[in-house]
Chain A
Amino acid sequence: MAISERNPVPALAGSASAYVTPSTSFGVFKRPVQSTGWRSWVFTVDHKKLGIMYGVVAMIFFIIGGVEALLIRLQLAAPNNRVLSAGAYNQMFTMHATTMVFLFVMPMAAAFANYLVPLQIGARDVAFPRLNAFGFWCFLFGGIFLNTSWFLGGAADSGWFAYAPNTALAFSPSHGVDFWALGLQITGIASLTGAINLIVTVLNMRAPGMSLMKMPIFTWMVLVVQFLLLFAIPVITVALFLLTFQRSFGAAFFSVEKGADPLLWQHLFWIFGHPEVYILVLPSFGIVSEVLPVFSKKPLFGYKFVVFSGAAIGFLGWGVWAHHMFASGLGPVSVAVFSVATMAIALPTGVKIVNWTMTLWGGKLRFTTAMLFAVGLIVEFTIGGLSGVTHAVAPSDTQQTDTYYIVAHFHYVLFGGAVFGLFAGFYYWWPKIFAKMLNERLGKWNFWLMVVGMNLTFGPMHILGLQGQPRRMQVWTAFRAGDGFFNLAFWNRVASVGSFVLAIGVLMFLINVVYTHRTAGVAPADPWDARSLEWMTSNPPAEHNFDAIPTVHELDEFFHRKYEENEATGEIHQVSTYEEIMADEATRADKHIHLPSPSYWPIILALGLPLIAYGLIFARLLAVFGGVIILLAMFGWSMEPSVADESDYDPPVDGGPTKELATLG
């Protein structure tokens, strides 16, 4: 794309020789120059293309994780069922959680963050575009690597929490846990590089006038999440290294017979794992905090409180990890401290719910699908949050932990919270990204089927758990289901039926996407009468995002350019349209825009990582090969300037673009 804008004249003239090729080879290869076809995606460093790729791949993993969930619910539909063997079932719930957490929600949030943060802050790309591409490829290769374990001796079977010493070779003899540990290391690199990149982008590259407290709330929540990732990822990295060293090189870290303390793993895992919960859910909080104001025609109620509560959750999230370990035997003093800390974190979370509700209050509400998902999130997440408070009470948690009550709780938080937020984001930003409006009729089917499906699936799990059905059980027995028509067998069946309703709801989304892209016309430029900067450009935005970097005066800058308040009457009236604002911006358009150039190195560098991982499991020689690729790729990468200047390129061919044009883009 960079090159295509570099070079619009031949394209207009229909000329075939569309490229201006690099004259200098930095490292081994000359830069890639294709502006169309698969190469323009594979070697891209454009945050928007990477965002789309993150989204597409995450959606595929969502489907895989969803199929795993359906198999689990099929197995549990009847007592002593035989759909899955014990081994297969254990792999299934391990991979379902791993896939949904690491390969769907996190990367889908990364998709939104990648695509939208630069647009929301008025930047032309992220701070480190190649690093961004590298992160995506790490995620993709890590995800593929993890899932190949299914075909190479079985997937991990020790739960996504992988408590030691059950992960030791003696207890989990297949390569599954090795795949799991190494795969998460690779996706962890994606998260860490992404975090550094987005933090620098948000802190350093805001448009003139955009102070931190004028930043769109989604960007704020993304910023908090990136800080959580920055500090949480290294902790799980340590834990995974210890695990890999133990399994591959015989280290003693979790060998109880050598005096190891199995609780070490639990502490390391949950010091990462609890911030991880907020990593999953805060981006969605950001999304609904964008959607609710737009469709209420009001600013977010208590913007500052939402920002500070997000930051407070970010801080407090580090002090509550041991509430996952109330039954582990920490001693009453620790348990008491963590119990109270956990209750405290309910406060900033409650602030958000209050502010969302108050945003609706007194508004002018339009119930588009995006708005429905956002309002749905308020209610479903509240249920999850409140059931969270009930097991912050440590003594009752000892009855509830590791039962279906917990499964119900975190699915209300993660499905009703995180996933609903992501779906609100799909419907809200789809016209921005693809210039098509998703069909609202199908959208409402999508929403209602998902709401009904999720409440049917996860609602009964509250009963199942409180009446004593533990989680991670391949089978349950009719005897322990109790008597009566509405016994646990009944609720297990309801949950299984509900999961298929839920799946049909998700299917509606996919149908909607296909249907829309076949039939729908070009979406209007500002379909929702939106408030923030990402809408103050074309749909989809040009490669360089903004012709002129806007100067920001207000929170909700775009809205304030469109509307003014009559000071006498207090009435809000429109003063200009999208077209007028864009025309005004066009007069200030930058003539000389330099964009980062595509590069081979990110994908090559990322390719070395799964090679090392396969090598560690199957043949050390392959690991050496992977290491060599990484070293060479790093060398090539550091030799290549991320932005090509004009002197990199061959002089324009006759009739080709002039130097002046070539500098654009």
Chain B
Amino acid sequence: MSHSCATKPLQSNMTTVKNVQNQSGDSMTSNSTRRRRWAMPVAAVAAFTVLSGCAKDAPQDTWQPAGENARKIHDLQVWPFGIAGIVLLIVCAAVGYSVFKFRDRGQAIPKQSHGKPSLEIALTVLPALILIGIGIPTVSTLFDLAKTSDTECVVNVTGQQWWWEYDYPAQAGCGGIEKPIVTSGQLVIPAGQHVLLRISSRDVIHSYWIPKLNGKRDAVPGRVQTLRMQADQPGIYSGQCTEFCGLSHAYMRMEAVSLDAAGFKTWVDNQLKPYTAPTADSKYSEGEALFITNCTRCHQVNGILGTDGKEVIARPDKYVYPGVAPNLTNLMTRTTFAGAAFDLQTEACKTRLWNTPPAQFTAAYLEGVTPQCLDIVQLREWLRNPTTKKPMYADPTKLATTGGMYRGMPNLGLTEDQIDKLVAYLTERK
């Protein structure tokens, strides 16, 4: 079923190529044509399948590129898919015809022919030519996609069981970033610009994949690998870790968000603004105290001050095996948490954000998670016992092989009251 299931308007001339695609999808389903009595219903089902056979707006559809790199891949792959479809049709037709025509109806034993070398050679050379035809654009696209010279800014992307950290080094590119930014869950990039991701890992191999923007690239510990990113328009694009990385691999998700240039600048400034202290003498400030006692061992909030008046520096390297935990300074500016496995927003708000047209998207995203939109249930469940929501290695009695270090977040044994206050504190981190 190699057809694209595009429902959004497509760029350029892709629509015509789509038709070729549909044929190949058709033929794959109808591989049973040789079974005569089944042929008609199967063909009907196949046609029906092709017409309405796939998800509309699947957020990870590889056939709906939304950026330059994904589009290059898309433009390249339609040809092999089309050719494959045609070849399959020919094979099915030849087999089907033979099955029909040469069924034993009492005919004489056929001549014991051992083959026809000229035919064999012809049928080897022909596909060889086709493959050369596919091979040349493949190689050129390959080198095109590996190019890094035209990228305008850099984001370091680091995988860790089971979430992604994004750190933006200080740079002139992307409208200028004065101080490094550390965030997680959602990669934020300026729309239209060529962003270079420098991908690595702190523990096992992960793989970074935002299907609508580019193919995937493994995050290999000890190596830094590059991947180009470019989104045509402001919007949000989902992806998942695609190299099996252990227990919670299925919960290691990511989203890429592209904002217009001004919006991106706003986002950067917001990330770098000084610490906003919680409302004094309230559940917010009690939440801050709880945060310092329970959370800052691992989670950094930039600028948070301890009782001694000094900034509290998290030391996740003492507790977490790969050494880092998500930075929560601006938690409410992103719409997901826990490795993008869960939404901070309610279903309705999320749907609204994802369906916001590009022109309004930047503003909608920069609102962050408003109190009306906050899905308090998810966050409370998480704080009550994280491992029941997302499988992790955080049972202190079972950590012998990591020397007692956690892989994931342990149950902190918080009371409901403490959870209330912590949530209150976190809702102000925007």
Contacts and interface: CB of A to CB of B under 8 A. Distances in A.
Interface of A: 85-87, 90, 157-159, 163, 165-166, 169-173, 256, 259-263, 296-305, 327-329, 331-332, 335-336, 339-340, 343-344, 346-347, 350-351, 353-355, 357-358, 360-367, 375, 378-380, 382-383, 386-387, 389-390, 392-403, 451, 455, 459-460, 462-463, 466-470, 472-476, 479-488, 491, 555, 563, 565, 570-573
Contacts of A360: 95, 98-99, 102
A366 to B, nearest CB: 5
Given A460-B1, A466-B63, A403 B242 contact: yes
Contacts of B138: 336, 339-340, 343, 392-395
A467 B203 contact: no
A17 B124 CA distance: 65
Contact of A351 (B1, B61, B124): B124
Interface in B271-297: none
A346 B143 contact: no
B327 interface: no
B56 A483 contact: yes
A346 B131 contact: yes
A253 to B, nearest CB: 13
Contacts of A364: 102, 104, 107-110
B31 A380 contact: yes
A335 to B, nearest CB: 6
A262 B102 contact: no
A572 B109 contact: yes
Interface of B: 1-2, 4-5, 28-29, 31-32, 34, 49, 52-63, 70, 72-73, 76-77, 80-81, 84-85, 87-88, 91-92, 94-95, 98-99, 102-104, 107-117, 119-120, 123-124, 127-128, 131, 134-135, 138-139, 141-143, 145-146, 161, 203-205, 207, 209, 211, 214-218, 220-223, 225, 238, 240-251, 321, 350, 391, 393, 398, 400-402, 407
B67 to A, nearest CB: 13
A297 B109 contact: yes
B350 to A, nearest CB: 8
Contacts of B207: 327, 402
A487 B55 contact: yes
B58 A468 contact: yes
Nearest to B59: A480
B55 A473 contact: no
B98 A394 contact: no
Contacts of B250: 86, 472-476
A323 to B, nearest CB: 12
A-B interface, 10 closest residue pairs, ranked by CB to CB distance from nearest: A468-B60, A398-B215, A482-B55, A482-B58, A302-B115, A396-B77, A487-B55, A329-B225, A360-B98, A386-B84
Given A336-B139, A399-B70, A468-B240, 16 more contacts: A86-B391, A90-B244, A165-B221, A301-B115, A328-B218, A365-B103, A392-B138, A393-B77, A395-B215, A455-B31, A473-B240, A473-B250, A482-B57, A487-B56, A572-B108, A572-B111
A301 B113 contact: yes
B222 A328 contact: no
Contacts of A340: 135, 138-139
A399 B69 CA distance: 11
B73 to A, nearest CB: 5
Contacts of B161: 171
Contacts of B112: 298-299, 565, 572
Contacts of B99: 360, 365, 367, 375
A262 B222 contact: yes
Contacts of A403: 62, 242
Nearest to A556: B112
B58 A481 contact: yes
Contacts of B241: 470
A386 B114 contact: no
Contacts of B243: 163, 327, 402
A76 to B, nearest CB: 10
Contacts of B77: 390, 393, 395-396, 399
A361 B102 contact: yes
Contacts of B81: 390
B1 A302 contact: no
A34 B408 CA distance: 60
A398 B242 CA distance: 10
A459 B203 CA distance: 35
A262 B142 contact: no
B103 A386 contact: no
B60 A480 contact: yes
Contact of A459 (B29, B73, B80, B218): B29
Given A344-B131, A364-B110, A474-B250, A467 B116 contact: no
B223 to A, nearest CB: 6
Given A165-B203, A262-B220, A379-B91, A486 B53 contact: yes
A463 B102 contact: no
Contacts of A304: 115
A483 B216 contact: no
A117 to B, nearest CB: 23
Nearest to A265: B205
Nearest to B245: A166
A336 B146 CA distance: 11
Contacts of A470: 209, 240-242
A301 B114 CA distance: 5
B199 to A, nearest CB: 8
Contact of B111 (A366, A387, A390, A570): A570
Nearest to B351: A479
A90 B245 CA distance: 10
B244 A339 contact: no
Contacts of B70: 399
Contacts of B222: 256, 259-262
Contact of B220 (A329, A392, A483, A487): A329
A645 B348 CA distance: 86
Nearest to B112: A299
B32 A451 contact: yes
Contacts of B120: 302, 305, 351, 354-355
A96 B298 CA distance: 38
Given A302-B114, A365-B98, A398-B73, A484 B56 contact: yes
Nearest to A261: B222
Contacts of A475: 250-251
A390 B400 CA distance: 45
Nearest to B391: A86
Contacts of B115: 301-305, 355, 358
